Structure 1
Amino acid sequence: MSNLPWTTSKIWSVGVDPYDSDTVFVGTRPNAFRSRDGGKSWEELDLGVRMPCPIGTPRTTNIIVDPRDTRTVWAGIEVDGVYRSLDGGDNWTRLPDLGPDPFHGDIHGMALKPGPESAIYCTTPFGISTSSDEGESWELHEFPRFHAEDQRSYCRGMVIKPDNPNVMFVGNGDTIPGVTGTIRRTRDAGASWDAPELSTTPNSVVYWFAASNHVQDVMVAASIYGYVYVSSDGGDSWDKLQKEFGEIRSLALTPNN
């Protein structure tokens, strides 16, 4: 057991068992660690990621403990696609490629839609990919490019609206870090997309989102270069806060108790 994984590994993601908060996963570069005692001790997990990748050593950018069956754990790798464990993280399998280009497997954001029509979603530099068969096959949706010379429409974070899993938001931009961006929204689980109104044009790709089951219809988004947007109408419109920051890489939304 390793007590302090971050002494030698950078942490890129965190996943917590929704029914047992003592079980925590952290994604590192290239693999992951697991704690069963709320972080007091850790064991390293070998996901089996392939090295090297186009960026050198892959990063585990997303970990999701499946609320349908917490023995199932999902991991998104930058750059090596999607991995899945069916035994709580002991053993892992790499799922089929998301597309022919290696960067189709450059996983940035990841989300699980629960319910009878469940789906797995991943964002990459190409757009958002959807699997309705537990990751065995993928369908890519690409967004409009910002400039004619752009190679692709770059996507980063994503979030599913807590009270309506058919409503999702994707952070989009011209590149990374980019000079402009927007928010893409679907209200029908990915069948169609629009771009809700933003009070100020982003100064980079929209990098991340935050939502909470305890704060109805409030959503938060951020650019890399310090713009924070808040929506209080479920994502229909987004107002930029006056306060700006240097760089933002993560967000959290909590009730104001």
Structure 2
Amino acid sequence: MAFATRILGIGIEPDEPQQMYAALEVGGAAHSSDSGKTWDIVNKEFDGDVDLMDLHGVSVGGPGSKSVYISNRTGVWKSTDRGQNWQDLNFEKFSDIRYSRGVETSPNDPNTIYACVGLNFGSEQGGVMRTTDGGDSWTRFDQGVNALSTTFGVGINEHSPEQVYFCTRKGQVFGTLDGGNSWKEHVLPEIAANVKAIACTSG
């Protein structure tokens, strides 16, 4: 890559793993078709707009899907042609919180996507938005949860997709075992003042 910036997310197509995507902080979306040997910026139409170029996450649809999702200061965007064109999924129609961090596709359903949101990087409120129709509509997933800062990461159990966890910038972790109907806060040691990523596995 001919630029210096932080990579905040990597996505790999499950059917064609040589197709890779990188979310670059204030650098846009990069795509590689040769397993990372060479890269191209694929959202050049965002050039000049820092809010759009400031990517925080990327997620690729599951098997059989060509959809790619990126998150930035304005919400979540979708491409179905490996980044040549991008569609704004219009977060403002469904939530007054648009600033987005982590974005994850359900490993069992390419139309179900989770997006971590907040007012800004350092805000004192956060949440998780979810779509089950590929981004056409969104609902608040973390109903009843008191997140005290911007949400940064979400993890889904691929063997039990009703089990979902998310983390916040100030170190809170919340989990559900029943698809968001009920939630439990998992208190971390005091040393975990900031949590910016989370994963979920079975066993």
Indicate whether the TM-score tops 0.5: yes
Distance 2:45 2:162 in 1: 32
- What amino acid is aligned across from residue 161 of structure 1 in structure 2? S
**CA-atom RMSD in angstroms:** 1.9
- What amino acid is aligned across from residue 148 of structure 2 in structure 1? N
Distance 1:242 1:71 in 2: 37
Matches for 1:8-157 after TM superposition, within 5 Å: 47-49=1-3, 57-97=4-44, 99=46, 101-140=49-88, 141-143=90-92, 144-146=95-97, 153-157=98-102
Call closer, same or farther: CA 1:158–1:108 in 2, change over 3 Å.
same
Name the residue aligned to 1:237.
181
Matches for 1:164-203 after TM superposition, within 5 Å: 164-203=109-148
Distance 2:54 2:163 in 1: 29
Name the residue aligned to 2:167.
222
Gaps of 5+ in 1: 1-46, 50-56, 147-152
Name the residue aligned to 1:149.
none
Secondary structure of the structure 2 residue equivalent to 1:237: coil
**Identity value in percent:** 22
Gaps of 5+ in 2: none
Indicate the larger mover: 177-186 or 63-72: 63-72
- What amino acid is aligned across from residue 62 of structure 1 in structure 2? G
Q: Which runs of 4+ in 1 moved over 6 A?
A: none
Distance 1:221 1:60 in 2: 20
Distance 2:182 2:119 in 1: 19
Secondary structure of the structure 1 residue equivalent to 2:36: coil
Give me the TM-score of the superposition, normalised by structure 2.
Answer: 0.87
Q: 1:156: Cα distance to partner? A: 0.4
Give me the TM-score of the superposition, normalised by structure 1.
Answer: 0.70
Contact 1:79 1:106 in 2 (8 A): yes
Distance 1:242 1:94 in 2: 39
- What amino acid is aligned across from residue 152 of structure 2 in structure 1? Y
Cα deviation, 1:173-199, whole Å, max 9, x if unaligned, reads 111121111111101010000112433
Distance 1:104 1:225 in 2: 25
- What amino acid is aligned across from residue 121 of structure 2 in structure 1? I
Distance 2:193 2:115 in 1: 22
